[in-house]
Amino acid sequence: MSDQEIEYAALLKGRHRISTYFEWVCRIATISALLFLAVLLAGVTWQAWGWLDTQFLTGFDSRRPAKAGLLAGLWGTSWLIFFTAILTVPVGVGAAIYLEEYATDNRLTRLIKLNLSNLAGVPSIVYGMLGVTAFVRMFGMLSAADGWTIAIALGFGTLEIPLPLGRCLLAGSFTLSLLILPVVIIASQEALRAVPPSIRHASYALGATEWQTIRHQVLPAAVPGITTGIILALSRAMGETAPLIVVGAMSYVAFAPGNLDTPMGAVQDPQRVLDAPFDVFTSITIQITNWIEQPKEEFQNLAAAGSLVLLILLVVFNATAIVIRNRAQKKITW
Amino acid sequence: MSTASASDVPLSEATTSLQRSASFTRLKESGIRSLLFLCAALSILTTLGIIAVLFSNAIYDVSPRQVGRDGEVRPNEAFFQQVSVTEFVTETRWTPGYTEKHFGIMPLVCGTLMISGIAALIGLPIGLCSAIYLSEYAAPRTRAIVKPVLEILAGIPTVVYGYFALVFVTPYVLRPIFQDMLGFDVGVFNAASAGIVVGIMIIPMISSLSEDVLRSVPRSLREAAYALGSTRVDVSTRVVVPAALSGIIASFLLAISRAIGETMAVTIAAGQTAIVTADPLGSVATMTSYIVNVSKGDAVIGSIEEKSIYAVGLTLFLMTLVMNIISQFVLRRFREVYN
């Protein structure tokens, strides 16, 4: 072998060695990211061990760690997510239908689309500041001495709507709704886009109008995708803390919104259901934050137990989304 | 269908009723269309709402003067009507809660940048390396499992990250290394722990987005490079990554923008000391944590302390907006198109 060839062989060996090193660096990076996740989940579970019991799930918050529970937060989060879903789903899906099915490619449409991708990047706390001004205080426009109350008598109770809304649960839901709206719209747009145009053409050929086509052909085909997007967006809303703090969630509440702390209560006293949206509120995340800030050591365990409950709820949500997606993928054959 | 034959009905009437029904359908169609347009327009309204709220509280208050319960007329003054922009930008103290008030945004911006910097230091290399691993090295089955698992990291609520930073990262990682071995003083609240967890949080953003763009680089480019005698590292770092650079940079910018806007983990783990400092082991306040802490406290509505969160919010909004716009620009302008 000539000197050149020996030199080349050595060089090649070196290059392959570098290649192997690089592969290992990348592999270790991936493993370390997975390891972070494992340590985080294990750590939270370890801290929560022994604290996640029936007392914790059925009791209200307390100054004594052994008696403190998550019930107010569980009810608060359920109500928040319920109203957020009611507010977001029609508007989000409607906007997506408009953008995908009706909108022509003009300046306004482009502006809306550009605006959507920018809104998705706005920090959640800024939405909180919008919420506190627009919903809680209603821009100060209605602030007579104590504000007004609109009372609507229904058969089983009176719906009392305070104006401005004040630091109530509904203001929190409005805020969360605006926060996840861009996510819902973008996900729904993708689901609608996945419906092949031939379906639409076939429907038009049979004499259906635009809306009939959307209502009976396009939307049913896109529902699984849209549902998945909505569930994922709602699970994001469930984990939000900052906007709720700014809107004015209570860090310590020892009752559920509207004093409704058992599902049976809704039947016994329907008035409570009407009161709940306008009551003060807390959420699972707010309670966790509050416990983290307590000086007593045991509250850290409570925070871990609360986090574990939140994570379990998120897993359930996400698993539902995945199941819906997988079943739809199997069923649909164009 | 009625049993009466069509001939019973005068022709002119039949056409009218048909027309009427058709025009009702048309009305319904255009009504639905308008309704759906309003839904889409709501997103514009949200943006305008955000801008209006930040503008009217931070820059110039246009709302009518408020009359208090005692009949006294209080002027509505926005933050910058009371504090000059020069002070806001050049002053190095941020003490809105003290009797001697100073309003210099610098400490908060420094805190934010320090935490985002630490997050970037952790998140960018790990995220990019995982993306390269998943796209260039991993078997399809490994990728199918690892990618969604990594994305769980993005789904974990930020308050849980904050808890993790405070209860695990500081006492079990930072203290043993920096305090016991190197002799630095590690505070209970410190920027490093917050930065580390925010860095972990942004890993999946980078790895997912970058992996998508890396995979969209055509196979022929890789094969051409191999044919010229490249090793895998040459192909990855000199062919595939440069070809996907616009997407990678866009994902970096989006991740950093997310780190800047990240709130709860930072509020919980970094404390609330608003000072200009270069010490990552001490407590710092960020723009987001300041807003949270004022919202939690009982600042009087209309007071300068309450108004100050809107000035900080405006700064935060503009910073993230600029980063998002740059990232979209980079993605569109420098995208390599292969056919």
| pLDDT tens figures, B44-96 | 999 999 999 999 888 888 766 665 555 566 667 788 888 888 888 888 888 88
Identify all chain B residues contacting A29, using CB atoms and an 8 Å cutoff. Answer: 125-126, 129-130, 133
What is the average pLDDT value for chain B, to the nearest integer? 86
Query: Under an 8 A CB cutoff, do B263 and A125 touch?
Result: yes
| pLDDT tens figures, B94-150 | 888 777 888 889 999 999 999 999 999 999 999 999 999 999 999 999 998 998 899
Identify all chain B residues contacting A190, using CB atoms and an 8 Å cutoff. Answer: none
Query: Under an 8 A CB cutoff, do A92 and B49 touch?
Result: no
From the list B232, B291, B317, which residue is nearest A246 (CB)? B291
| pLDDT tens figures, B203-220 | 999 999 999 999 999 999
Predicted confidence (pLDDT) at residue B284 exceeds the cutoff of 50: yes
User: What is the spatial distance between Cα B160 and Cα A292, in angstroms, rounded to a whole number?
Assistant: 10
- The distance of B18 to chain A (nearest Cα, Å) reads 15
pLDDT given at position B1: 41
- The distance of B250 to chain A (nearest Cα, Å) reads 13
Beta strands B73-74 and A157-163, pairing class: unpaired
Residue B274 has a CB neighbour count (10 Å cut-off) of 26
| pLDDT tens figures, B185-196 | 888 899 999 999
Q: Coil, strand, or helix at residue A9?
A: helix
pLDDT band at B13 (very low <50, low <70, confident <90, very high): low
**Residue in chain B nearest A19 by alpha carbon:** B233
pLDDT given at position B15: 53
| pLDDT tens figures, A237-289 | 999 999 999 998 888 888 888 888 888 877 888 888 888 888 889 999 999 99
Predicted confidence (pLDDT) at residue B304 exceeds the cutoff of 90: no
The answer to whether the CB of A241 falls within 8 A of the CB of B264 is yes
Residue A153, C-beta contacts closer than 8 angstroms, at least 6 positions apart: A159
ipTM of the predicted structure?
Answer: 0.90
Identify all chain A residues contacting B309, using CB atoms and an 8 Å cutoff. Answer: 129
- Fold observed for domain A52-331: MetI-like fold (1.10.3720)
User: What is the spatial distance between Cα B338 and Cα B179, in angstroms, rounded to a whole number?
Assistant: 53
pLDDT band at B184 (very low <50, low <70, confident <90, very high): confident
Class of B85-333 per CATH?
mainly alpha
**Ramachandran sector of residue A231 (left: φ over 0; alpha: ψ -120 to 50; beta: rest):** alpha
Identify all chain B residues contacting A130, using CB atoms and an 8 Å cutoff. Answer: 46, 49-50, 53
Length of chain B: 339
Query: Under an 8 A CB cutoff, do B39 and A241 touch?
Result: no
Q: Which residues of A92-102 are buried (b: 16+ CB within 10 A; e: fewer)?
A: bbbbbbbbbbb
pLDDT given at position B65: 60
Among B264, B56, B317, B73, residue whose Cα is nearest residue A137: B56
DSSP B171: I
Query: Under an 8 A CB cutoff, do A98 and B134 touch?
Result: no
Which residues 259-318 on chain A approach chain B with CB closer than 8 angstroms?
285, 288-289, 292-293, 300, 303-304, 307, 310-311, 314, 318
Residues of chain A where predicted confidence (pLDDT) is lower than 70: 1, 141-147, 332-334
User: Any chain B CB within 8 A of the CB of A211?
Assistant: yes
Which residue ranges make up each domain of chain A? Answer: 1-48, 52-331
Alpha carbon of A46 to those of A23, A189, A228, A277, B210: distances in Å? 34, 41, 31, 36, 34
Identify all chain A residues contacting B325, using CB atoms and an 8 Å cutoff. Answer: 118
User: What is the spatial distance between Cα B189 and Cα A33, in angstroms, rounded to a whole number?
Assistant: 24
Which residues 67-96 on chain A approach chain B with CB closer than 8 angstroms?
90-92, 94-95
Which residue ranges make up each domain of chain B? Answer: 10-58, 85-333
Query: Under an 8 A CB cutoff, do A129 and B267 touch?
Result: no
Which residues 158-177 on chain B approach chain A with CB closer than 8 angstroms?
158-164, 166-168
- The distance of A176 to chain B (nearest Cα, Å) reads 12
What is the average pLDDT value for chain A, to the nearest integer? 89
